[in-house]
Structure 1
């Protein structure tokens, strides 16, 4: 089947490249590769993109709108951060010079916050997608991931945001710390809730509670599924305790992959929060659609 894209939406992260062929606001084809920003030199980006999307190009020029780490300093071309408070979708995209005349590539800038220092790339596009479908929405948007973002949104602007390394900490602790000997596959809802409750009420106990996971394995034979769930609960509880000024008393949208977003949503609901869960891929495409509308 021949695919002729009206335009192409791209989410180009550190480790993955994903693209969607778009026509009449709908996805008509999609493709992905492992050619993320981390494994490419600046002069290799165009070739990596063409290898994925060349079959979608028409005889004329096709617009490509990309978000994520492709616009980082180490990426294809730097799309400088825009300082918050600001719209989730910056007014000016960055155009990349291309050798192939069939391509017209635009990068979505990330957002920065000077005090306290913070940055994001890619999440701003997901927020822009959500706000494009929820006009005049005020509240807090949570974007779970390796570096989870919490953003206060009001009057169609990102007022402020904070990042939490919870996802990366979980990976490091389960793969490189002493806890790697105690965790494993599986899940235990009761252990997760106990860990969550502990650090939500006493976040200062996190470091000690983490080691108790190893001790519980050695002395009590705690099963790997219980250990893993408790670790997840302890880390998320500490994050929710620190981010409480953002979410307490606010309406909250959690934008993410369904299983992880669901964990965040259920944890917030135990605290009486009103939460809706939104698919991350759909919001990425919606944000890129909004960005494409800005291209003249």
Structure 2
């Protein structure tokens, strides 16, 4: 078995990804379900030792991003305030086993309006490693979607929108759960995006109309799902207009959700393209490790 130079780790809320690294080449990847939500601070080192085992033949650097650095994680890594470059100098974490030399990368914070990110900054760093001259806006779709202004290799500002979480709550825990299920109608989605952007004050009423439409007109479940998504993303695009209007926008995300955002933005005549998020976190961790050891 090859001896690793270092270990890259993305330690999220519900999942851990480890890469055994030789330089900038991953020798293999380990996935584990023991994310931050399942661990106490004294449990992280034990997980690493269990998963890495005999591969640790001497002192080995471990570079970690994500929720392991949260206040409730392994050890809090204080946020770096924007505007700033993507941090590469993580905070050291004491370990009992001398074979582990652990550092956790900080997230980013913004004071006005208040906002934070933890983990996404490493994805941004991975994107910038591939496109160092990029000047524009990144959209990172997810449960909490990030809109990030990047200029001169720095994060200038960002905003977080809870559209994904609102969709989950409304589709599974509100009266709309009786109307929303699988399926999709693209025309209905785009119409809802325009409705929310043009008449945001009536969105609360438009949401209930989804339920009423399924009762009175037998609207298809796919139409209900598309309309709920369109109303929420339309509100988000209205709020994020200063980020995307007149800017080059790169959507950094998984294919299905990224395509939904791309379609909505393209319908607003935005300059938009998508970049797959696959591998970008590892690229960001590698860039941070390389800058620190250069």
Please say which of residues 276-285 and 213-222 is displaced more in the overlay: 276-285
Corresponding pairs, count: 293
Within the candidate set 77, 83, 103, 1:79 is matched to 77
Match of 1:236 among 230, 233, 236: 233
How far is the alpha carbon of 1:185 from its aligned partner? 1.1
Q: 1:281 to 1:47 in 2, by over 3 A?
A: farther
Range moving further from structure 2, 272-281 or 6-15? 272-281
Quick one: which of 141, 149, 152 aligns to 2:149? 152
Q: Does 1:285 align with 2:282?
A: yes
> Are 1:3 and 1:29, in contact at CA under 8 Å, matched by a contact in 2?
no
The one-character-per-residue Cα deviations of 1:15-42 (angstroms, maximum 9, x if unpaired) are: 1111122224222211212111111110
Aligned-pair CA distance for 1:189: 1.2
2:26 pairs with 1:27: yes
Q: Which stretches in structure 1 are left out of the alignment for 5+ residues? A: none
For the aligned residues, what is the CA RMSD? 1.4
Counterparts of residues 134-213 of structure 1 (less than 5 Å): 134-213=131-210
Deviation at 1:295, TM superposition (A): 3.2
Counterpart mapping for 1:110-121 below 5 A: 110-121=107-118
Contact residue 138 and residue 153 of structure 1 kept, 8 A: yes
Distance 1:243 1:75 in 2: 31
Q: How far, CA to CA, are the matches of 2:88 and 2:17 in structure 1?
A: 24
Matches within 5 A, 1:252-267: 252-267=249-264
Residue from 118, 123, 128 that aligns with 2:120:
123
Structure 2 unaligned blocks of 5 or more = none
1:109-156 deviations in Å (ceiling 9; x for gaps): 000001100000001111111111112211001111111000111111
Moved over 6 A (4+): none
Shift of 1:5: 2.6
1:109 counterpart SS class: coil
Q: CA deviation at 1:188?
A: 1.5
Aligned to 1:43: 42
Separation in 2, partners of 1:51, 1:66: 17
Bigger Cα displacement from structure 2, 232-241 vs 266-275: 266-275
- C-alpha distance in structure 1 between counterparts of 2:201 and 2:103, whole Å: 44
- Cα distance per residue 1:207-251 (max 9 Å; x no partner): 111111111111111111111111111111110111000010111
2:66 to 68, 85, 92: 68
Shift of 1:51: 2.7
How far does residue 271 in structure 1 lie from its aligned partner after superposition? 1.4
Specify whether residues 8 and 281 from structure 1 end up closer, same or farther in structure 2 by C-alpha distance, changes over 3 A only.
farther
User: Alpha-carbon deviation of 1:91?
Assistant: 4.6
CA shift at 1:159, angstroms? 0.7
Partner of 1:92: 89
SS at match of 1:141: strand
Secondary structure of residue in 1 paired with 2:3? coil
